[in-house]
Chain A
Amino acid sequence: MASHVHVTAKGGAQSGASSSTLAYGALVLGWLVPGAGHFLVKRPIRGLLLFLAITTMFVLGVAMQGKLYSPNTGEILNILGFIGDLGSGLLYIVAKSLDYGHLAVQVATADYGTKFAVVAGLLNFIAAIDAHNIGIGRKA
């Protein structure tokens, strides 16, 4: 009896550890690729919708000649803009490495494009945390 309880407790601990790994994996993967965290926690439809919404928003932002912020230690709004952009994960990294995005806003809609890219990143932070919450069982 005692050994059975011991085995059960050990199994529960292992299950908890793997659940925690899955949850943090969903958080990181969800940040790198929008919606991927939801695929990892077996919510593929939500993941697909999040991927489409966030990726399209980011791509449209770049297509609208929006600015992509670079790492900086200058104005607080520039720092926050960079943090927002970074939320898009690989989208931002790839776009920046391919030299997409303008350094300065030149047309009226480009300002909207800048906001689209930043907000896409912020929404992706929310989506990644949601995947984490599903992974730990806080949300269905």
Chain B
Amino acid sequence: MTFAPSHFTAVLLFATFASVVFGITQRSTAAAMVKYGLYCFVLFVVAVVGAGWAMWLIRR
């Protein structure tokens, strides 16, 4: 079994799984877990897209 996602798909998968664990382990109530999980997911994706654009600018 092999799996070869695109770079962006890999980022989304990584952000999803890590955010689920962060949300559950770092907060105590269900609402706070969902909120913090979404916050982490957005931060992961924004950070990666930002880093990608930064590398594009450095390359030019």
Chain B interface bracket (under 10, 10 to 19, 20 to 34, 35 or more): 10 to 19
Number of inter-chain CB pairs below 8 Å: 61
> What is the chain B residue whose CB lies nearest that of A34?
B21
Q: How far is the CA of A115 from the CA of B5 in the complex (A)?
A: 14
Contacts of B7 in A (CB 8 A): 112
Contacts of B51 in A (CB 8 A): none
Q: How far is the CA of A46 from the CA of B24 in the complex (A)?
A: 7
On whether A65 and B2 interact (CB within 8 A), knowing A60-B13, A127-B24, the answer reads: yes
Q: Is A107 an interface residue (CB 8 A)?
A: yes
- A18-74 with Cβ < 8 A to chain B: 46, 49-50, 52-54, 56-57, 60, 63-65
Q: Is B55 an interface residue (CB 8 A)?
A: no
CB atoms of B5 and A64 under 8 A apart: yes
Q: Is A91 an interface residue (CB 8 A)?
A: no
> What is the chain A residue whose CB lies nearest that of B27?
A139
Chain A interface bracket (under 10, 10 to 19, 20 to 34, 35 or more): 20 to 34
Q: Is B10 an interface residue (CB 8 A)?
A: yes
> What is the chain A residue whose CB lies nearest that of B10?
A112
Taking the closest CB of chain B, its distance from the CB of A96, in whole angstroms, is 17
The one of B1, B10, B20 that contacts A50, using a Cβ cutoff of 8 Å: B20
CB atoms of B24 and A49 under 8 A apart: yes
The contact string, 1 if C-beta is below 8 Å from chain A, for chain B 5-41, is 1010010011011101110110011000000000000
CB atoms of B20 and A53 under 8 A apart: yes
Which B residues fall within an 8 A CB radius of A? 1-5, 7, 10, 13-14, 16-18, 20-22, 24-25, 28-29
